[in-house]
Amino acid sequence: MSTRSRTVLVAAMGVLLLAAAAGSEPRASGGTDAAHLELLSSGRFPSARACRNCHPNHYEQWSGSQHAYAQLSPVFNAMHGTLVQQTNGTLGDFCIRCHTPVGMQLDEPLFVSNLERAQPSREGVTCAVCHRMRRDYGKVSGRIGLAEGGLEEPISGPTGNAELKRVLGDSGTFRRVRDGDDQLGIHGDVLTFAPIRTSAFCGTCHDVTSPTGVRLEEAFSEYRHSPAAAEGIRCQDCHMSTDPGAPSGFAQGPAAIVGGRPTRIRTLTDHRFVGPDYSVVHPGLFPFNERAHDLATMEQWLTFDWKAGWGTDAYEDQADPEATYPDRWRDFGDRYDARDVIEENLERLDKIADARRALLKKGYRLGEPRLVPGTDHLDIHVEVSNGTTGHNVPTGFTAERLVWLHTVLRGADGAVLFESGDLDANGDVRDSHSRYVHNGEVEHDDLLFTLQSRFVLQNLREGERESILTVNHAASPLPFVRPDPIPNFVSGGPAGTRLHKKGIEPGGARDHRYRIPRAVLAKGQPPYQLTVELKAAMVPVNLIGEIMGVGFDYGMSASEVAEGVVAGHQVLWVRERSIGEGDFQ
């Protein structure tokens, strides 16, 4: 195994513990073992790459989606590994079974680099996850079983077998060809699976209760009690529509291209699954790209220094002829080919970022600032509201969703008189989880507006404290996940941990007040300039610090992951206002 592969999940004690908890040792990447793994897994579950042959549009949308990124995420892998380690393996596959259902059904180790997983399992929520489901599970926190078999085995879908039967019976029109063969790999049957049309189907993974009773995610539960549900609007109507985040209807087109011929026109759902997460990994790895797969392995892509400009004219024209490169990239022609893939994926990531921002702007609304003068102060009121009717904002795993206001008041000369929502040197807001605040190096932001929910843990000797993760170290130095002896419905909730939700309900709003003392205003001259930005981040940087002990996949350092998180911060709305003398009357 290469040095990089050995270091992708560092912290040797953590790796040994988690591998033992999984009942298996990590496999070596590459070589005979990897080839065997790939062969065996393809016979049990097809890769999305196989589905791409007939469903290119679906694959293109999915390949850059959050579902595709679910298992590739180094943040998720480290968080999952930390929780498994801190619970001495007793957490099991609770987290990862939603992020790689195929990998868990293949009985892969709980904690291992994605470089060492089978292709279908590293694809996260791949095609087979939704379209090989046979049973209506409902809310089961991802505990599902998938029908196994190669590409030719039946799949589950919303419309059944009629069109496929026509295609299979018309070989003259629908030419089917496979390399070295006369027959294209194609599933032989489509089973009508009505639940795939319902919101409850999404609730299988998007409504999560921890083994200790903590309600970690309540997206589906929030939806069930929402105005959208009362109107009959489904999750799919907004999140798979032509305009993600709004019930804008669906596209129309052929579901498949078989042998170069399209099937009949039908309703097409959008498989981008736009949401708040974004990639922090090498752009040669994600989005999934057929050209990238054909050009190099994942390990080889990790050695391609795209940030240095490899494969660009600016770099290659000035490259030192004596410079050394990894074996795969010694030839400048290969570096140019790789650069083409990188540029294609970077362009796709930019489009995904635009779609993410558009979606989040539908969910979060920012009102115009209102001024209320006082005798010795100026109050600035800002309203943030929920623009959706289907669920809270944020929703899902709200303890890791950072949505906040960055508010700055400047004097006429541009000098900053007041600021809230700015970031510390790590990239965190100045709240109680900021390491700089904790160390007394910067002041706590007492007027911070944030919608991030918090885990609240019960201390051993009564009292509570906030925590970034759910494992209650204050209660036990050696925690295990055990069934609670007292049912939650008796106690009203889990005994040691609860989630303090701060999201905004459908149709709701929060009015936030900034009180600026006159003494602060006196340090500048009017007219003052007020700027309020509503910002969104995938996760707070302090989470990266909390989970870094087990290491990050792909050999990434904690600082590299944190830089990627901060680079993905988005400004959703901006409100500006000039404040003159007349506003104080």
Residues 139-169 pLDDT 10s: 888 889 999 998 889 999 998 888 999 998 8
Residue 315 and residue 353 in one domain: yes
Assign residue 441 the CATH number of its domain.
2.60.40.10
Per-residue DSSP letter, 247: -
* Last residue in a domain, options 255, 277, 299: 277
| Placement of tokens 């010795």 in the chain | 376
Residue 462 and residue 546 in one domain: no
Q: Is the peptide bond before 527 cis (omega within 30 degrees of 0)?
A: yes
User: Is 492 exposed, middle or buried, given 0-12, 13-18 or 19+ CB atoms closer than 10 A?
Assistant: exposed
* Closest of 149, 155, 152 to residue 133, by C-alpha: 155
Structure tokens at 376: 């010795």
In a domain, 49, yes or no: no
In a domain, 337, yes or no: yes
Q: E strands of 21-157, at which residues?
A: 155-157
Residue 30 and residue 105 in one domain: yes
In a domain, 284, yes or no: no
The per-residue pLDDT for 186 is 87
* Last residue in a domain, options 277, 310, 330: 277
Residue 426 and residue 575 in one domain: yes
Angle at 332 between CA 328 and CA 336, to 5 degrees: 95
Q: Is 267 helix (H, G, I), strand (E, B) or coil?
A: strand
The per-residue pLDDT for 193 is 94
- Considering its fold, how many domains does the chain have in total? 5
Q: What is the distance, to the nearest Å, from the Cα of residue 114 to the centroid of all Cα atoms in its chain?
A: 16
Residue ranges in the chain whose pLDDT is less than 50: 1-32, 179-180, 182
In a domain, 58, yes or no: no
Helix axes 74-86, 558-567, angle to 10 degrees: 130
The 3 state secondary structure assigned to 518-570 is HHHHCCCCCCEEEEEEEEEECCCHHHHHHHHHHCCHHHCCHHHHHHHHHHCCE
- Inter-CA distances, 335 with 57, 115, 320, Å: 28, 22, 14
Angle at 573 between CA 235 and CA 345, to 5 degrees: 65
| Placement of tokens 């105005």 in the chain | 227
Q: CA 44, CA 148: separation in Å to the nearest integer?
A: 5
- Inter-CA distances, 364 with 42, 104, 538, Å: 42, 36, 15
Q: Show the domain range for 16.
A: 1-44+71-124
Q: CA 305, CA 285: separation in Å to the nearest integer?
A: 13
Q: CA 492, CA 497: separation in Å to the nearest integer?
A: 12
Q: Output the pTM of the full model.
A: 0.90
Strand partners, 529: 410, 578
The per-residue pLDDT for 114 is 97
Residue 143 and residue 206 in one domain: yes
Residue 235 and residue 334 in one domain: no
Residue 202 and residue 320 in one domain: no
The per-residue pLDDT for 9 is 42
Q: CA 34, CA 118: separation in Å to the nearest integer?
A: 8
Structure tokens at 233: 């609007």
* Closest of 317, 402, 298 to residue 360, by C-alpha: 402
Residue 354 and residue 449 in one domain: no
Residue 528 and residue 447 in one domain: yes
Q: Is 178 helix (H, G, I), strand (E, B) or coil?
A: strand
Q: CA 117, CA 124: separation in Å to the nearest integer?
A: 11
In a domain, 65, yes or no: no
* Closest of 581, 449, 559, 447 to residue 514, by C-alpha: 447
* Last residue in a domain, options 277, 306, 332: 277
Q: CA 340, CA 14: separation in Å to the nearest integer?
A: 38
Q: How many CB atoms lie within 10 A of CB 213?
A: 19
The sign of the dihedral angle between the CA atoms of 353, 356, 361, 366 is negative
Residue 416 and residue 465 in one domain: no
The answer to whether the beta carbons of residues 565 and 544 sit under 8 Å apart is yes
In a domain, 371, yes or no: yes
Residue 134 and residue 115 in one domain: no
Pairing of strands 190-192, 155-157: parallel
In a domain, 477, yes or no: yes
Residue 381 and residue 354 in one domain: no
Q: CA 221, CA 204: separation in Å to the nearest integer?
A: 11
Q: CA 443, CA 118: separation in Å to the nearest integer?
A: 47
Angle at 146 between CA 224 and CA 271, to 5 degrees: 60
In a domain, 56, yes or no: no
Phi then psi for residue 245, to 5 deg, are 100, -10
